[in-house]
Amino acid sequence: MRWSASPRILRDPVHLVAFGFGAGLSPYAPGTFGTIVGIPFVLLMAPLGLMVQLALVLAGFLVGVYVCGESARRLGVHDHGGIVWDEVVGYAITMLAAPAEPLWLLAGFGLFRFFDIVKPWPIREADHSLKGGLGIMLDDVLAGIFAGAILYLVHLLL
């Protein structure tokens, strides 16, 4: 099955999650729209405490390895631009390091998008080295860790 910009793809639960509940269908900047989908998840997780947040992010990662890999396999394209669940999880990782308040949400959004787009080493290496769902997810996990580390340092200094 080849991907098209049709919402019909979202009838399949695997594609529905992998495409960020439709955000990946955006013809412009689907990764940015996928990151936006992460904001409500971050806000819902914020009051749950760090250990529960970590468990939920780990669960999101494991789900992502499967759905992103399976969606890519069904589409016949490794890391198709419409697959954005990796952005949702990467942004959630970023926001583990800071309060879920408007300024921090925006700063985390900008930092995560920066690292996800620029892909400095080792993010670029992970993006090019690994295939399947793990390869799709890992570069965004690393981008989230980089962005989160900066947020955490800034939070400590303030």
Q: What is the pLDDT of residues 42-82, one digit of tens each?
A: 999 999 999 999 999 999 999 999 999 999 999 998 888 99
> What does the pLDDT read at residue 6?
67
Q: Residue 11: pLDDT above 70?
A: yes
Q: Where are the domains of the chain?
A: 7-157
pLDDT of residue 13: 95
What does pTM read for this prediction?
Answer: 0.94
Q: Can you give the pLDDT at residue 111? A: 98
Relative orientation angle of helices 85-94 and 102-118, to the nearest 10 degrees: 130
pLDDT tens, position by position, 129-146: 888 999 999 999 999 999
Whether the Cβ atoms of residue 88 and residue 60 lie closer than 8 Å to each other: yes
Is the model's pLDDT at 2 over the cut of 50? no
Up-side HSE of residue 100: CA atoms within 13 Å toward CB?
Answer: 18
